[in-house]
Amino acid sequence: MMYKLKQERAAIEKTAEAVKEQENSLEKHLLETFAKTDLEGARGKLAVAGVNMSTVPTVKDWDKLYAYILKNKAWDLLQKRASATAFRERWDDKVVVPGVEAFTVIKLSLKKR
C-alpha cells in the first residue's frame, strides 16, 4: 500500500513540476513586461500582481567573510545549522566536536521489487 502511495505521489509531483515550470515562465514574462513599462504591478479579477525587490547577500570570498565574523563577533551573519556531512566525516575519524551530539534519524526504505 505504501509503495502505491509513493507512486501516486511521484505522479502528482511530476504534474506539479510541470505546473511550476508554467508558473515560472509566466512570472518571468510578467516581470519582463513590468520592467519595460512604468508599471509596478497590475490588478485583475482574481488577483493583484506586484513587483517586490529585496537585497540578499551573495558571498564572493568566504575567507574574508569568516575573518570579519570572527573579528567582529558577528555570528548573526550565519544561519544556525550544522552540516551533517562534515560532522559525520569527523565522527567517522573519531573526532569529538564540542557542543554537538549524534542523533539517529530512522527512516523506512521502500523500493520496488
Q: What is the pLDDT along the chain (113 residues), one digit of tens a residue?
A: 999 999 999 999 999 999 999 999 999 999 989 889 988 888 899 999 999 889 989 999 999 999 999 999 999 999 988 899 999 999 999 999 899 998 888 886 767 77
Each residue of 3-16: pLDDT tens digit?
A: 999 999 999 999 99
Report the DSSP beta bridge partners of residue 33. Answer: none
CA distances from 4 to 25, 39, 111, 112 (A): 32, 48, 11, 10
Chain centroid to Cα 15, Å, comes to 21
Q: Which three cell numbers stand for residue 44?
A: 485583475
Task: For residue 69, count CB atoms less than 10 angstroms from its CB and return exposed for 0-12, middle for 13-18, buried for 19 or more.
Answer: middle
CA trace torsion 23, 24, 29, 32 (10° rounding): 140
